Copies of this chain bind each other. A is one copy, B any other.
């Protein structure tokens, strides 16, 4: 039974035991869908998206509906009272009277902390600017565990924008809690992993390599985590155009990969992974969205104390 009004802002808000419990729960849900069909009956999830995100919002909504609960909320700031100058704190105080659990995406880093201080129901951060997005990391962990059977002893390639990509940072933070993983950090020099994340790898004594070479790194990988090089992260168009196409995964680059390597991507993809790869058995990025839905189901159940 989770403690009341638990807020999940960062993946580190969950202990390793809790992560394992949530993954076990997701596996049970996968195998016994019907057992959970009415579990959240009469419960309501509020999805407060101050910034649009189809995938994350629909995933939360699908999760709650598959548990027999219902959903209310908004899909963009223009549909909300924020336009009238209302604070996040006041919105959360109010919505606490309308819903049994709240998830929020907000463009401002720190907004979830404010929300957590004002909610009287469990709260889940669904992404705050370039900061945290814990349920994406939950999706990543379950996908890796299901594809490889475990979360330790793996060689993990992280490729693309390692500087601004919040999903990469969170995934490293989470994987560092499992033993004996190696990290291959593949990016242009301009988009290398920030120093504070490098420090964490060192502190934990994790083996890691920084490289600009995607193709040469592939053969040793168990997991290849691709990310989008986002236009909005660049100061000028020229740098963006020069860099965006370098780390594109193609069929050719996959030739020397392990047969059971798993390719992940937080999506949306623009062109970082050639669509020709979608049919490859190693492509797990759409399966990852299924894992994401099931982890959100597990998290909702856990935070509502309905997991037993």
Residues of A whose CB lies within 8 Å of any CB of B are 37, 42, 44, 46, 52-55, 58-59, 61-62, 65-66, 70-76, 78-86, 89-91, 93-99, 267-270, 275, 278, 286, 289-290, 293
Contact = CB atoms under 8 A, between A and B. Distances in A.
Copies of the polypeptide in the assembly: 3
B44 A65 contact: yes
Contacts of A89: 275
Contacts of A86: 54, 267-270
Nearest to A275: B89
A72 B57 CA distance: 9
B65 A52 contact: no
Contact of A71 (B72, B91, B96, B286): B72
A94 B37 contact: no
A62 B78 CA distance: 20
Residue from A53, A55, A275 having most chain B Cβ neighbours under 10 A: A55
Contacts of A71: 72
A90 B275 CA distance: 9
A207 to B, nearest CB: 34
A54 B70 contact: no
A281 to B, nearest CB: 15
20 contacts: A37-B42, A44-B62, A52-B78, A52-B81, A54-B86, A54-B91, A59-B98, A62-B99, A74-B75, A75-B79, A84-B268, A85-B268, A86-B268, A86-B269, A90-B268, A94-B267, A94-B289, A97-B286, A97-B290, A98-B289
Contacts of A61: 72, 98
Given A37-B42, A84-B268, A62 B98 contact: yes
Contacts of A55: 81, 94
Nearest to A48: B54
Contacts of A62: 44, 72, 97-99
Given A86-B269, A90-B267, A289-B94, A80 B65 contact: no
Contacts of A85: 268, 270
A278 B278 CA distance: 53
